[in-house]
Amino acid sequence: MNGFSILGAAGLLDGSIQLHHDETWGDGDFIPKNVRRRISRLIAQVLRVTYEAGGMAASEDAAMIFATANGEINTIGAILQALLAVEPQVSPTLFHNSVHNAAPGYWAILAKRLAASTTLTMGVASFEAAMLEAWMRLSDGESEVQVSVGDEAITGAPWADPAHCTVDFAGSFRVGCGTEPGLGRLALVEFVPEEPDGFDEMARAQVLGATEVVCDPMTVPGGAMHPCAGAAVALSFLLRPGDAGRLLLVRRSPAGGRFILVFDRGVHD
């Protein structure tokens, strides 16, 4: 089990808490002002972590896989409000921001990335499913992909259950085929269909030699609910100073079965 190198990673929680591999943290200046005033909060946060994870250093062939559970839910909420008018008018900016691949689209434009980016969702297992898509792409010949995740607190969609996402969180992982040590390794991603007798996480952890096991994370650091909490767990593990270790992350899919992710962390100062 060798896997792929984690070349960079970054996370942004509630707009203030940073999960990052060095001391520098940009202020989003790479986003031109004329773009910044047009994009949603979610797009801004996803662009920022994609940049902070070293996205500009990636090859122009590095695709972005954007994982999100709710996508542009607050933008859709704003459009629904506009539909209440007698003569509804939906602004073009609001409309094109409402597509769930808006963040990869803006990233392609800003970073001049010509690769085949995509947006993927599977509810609370969106991050884990996106990592499996990344694993498949790397196994199928792509040299590098960047998995960026993000969901914003549900504030503008009163018809959605706000408990599904109570805090803004975005994270990004650059994953490549090279042998560079990077921040660690994505050692394994697999999907285990539903087992009649359940799934024994601890037995699996023992087989894989995991030093930490996290099953079905629902909360990000601080305890807020977030559908992509698994990404926050992985970031915390990879960026935490300390000894080498192996994390087994297990996430049940809303469609049944489980995604299994294994991360290796090198020794950090």
Contact region with other proteins (CB under 8 A), list: 2-10, 15-23, 72-80, 211-219: 72-80
Question: How many residues bind to other proteins according to rule CB under 8 A?
Answer: 63
CA distance 86 to 82: 9
Which one among 18, 118, 155, 219 touches other proteins, defined by CB under 8 A? 118
Cβ count near 67 (within 10 Å): 29
Q: Are 267 and 244 spatial neighbours (Cβ–Cβ below 8 Å)? A: yes
Supply the minimum distance, in Å, between the C-beta of residue 22 and other proteins.
27
What is the residue whose two structure tokens read 């999100």?
Answer: 68
Backbone angles phi, psi at 195, to 5 degrees: -105, 135
Under rule CB under 8 A, residue 91 binds other proteins = yes
Single out the segment in contact with other proteins by CB under 8 A; choices: 23-31, 44-52, 152-160, 229-237. 152-160
Member of 24, 37, 112, 197 binding other proteins (CB under 8 A): 112
Q: Is residue 222 involved in binding other proteins (CB under 8 A)?
A: no
Q: What are the CA-CA distances from residue 120 to residues 64, 71, 195 (Å)?
A: 11, 10, 25
The answer to the question of residue 123 lying near other proteins (CB under 8 A) is yes
Contact region for other proteins (CB under 8 A) — 17-25, 82-90, 198-206, 212-220? Answer: 82-90
Residues 238-257 that bind other proteins (CB under 8 A): 253-257
**Do residues 52 and 108 touch, judged by C-beta distance below 8 A?**
no
Q: Which residue lies nearer to other proteins by CB, 81 or 206?
A: 81
| Strand 184-192, strand 212-215: pairing | unpaired
Q: What are phi and psi of 143, to 5 degrees?
A: -90, -25
What tokens does 75 get?
């933008």
In terms of CB distance, is 145 or 248 closer to other proteins? 145
The tokens for 194 are: 């539903």
Selected range binding other proteins among 10-18, 46-54, 155-163, 201-209, rule: CB under 8 A = 155-163
DSSP per residue, 153-178:
---S-TTS-GGG--S-EEEEEEEESS
Told to check if 160 binds other proteins by CB under 8 A, we report yes
Helices 102-111 and 41-52: angle between axes, nearest 10 degrees: 50
Which 42-71 residues touch other proteins, going by CB under 8 A? 69-71
Q: Is 31 in the site for other proteins (CB under 8 A)?
A: no
**Closest Cα partner for 148 from 168, 131, 169, 172?**
172
Question: For residues 31 and 132, which CB has a smaller minimum distance to other proteins in the complex?
Answer: 132
What residue ranges bind other proteins (CB under 8 A)?
69-71, 76, 79-80, 82-84, 88-92, 95-96, 98-102, 104-106, 108-109, 111-123, 126, 129, 132-133, 135-137, 139-140, 157-161, 164, 191, 193-194, 253-257, 259
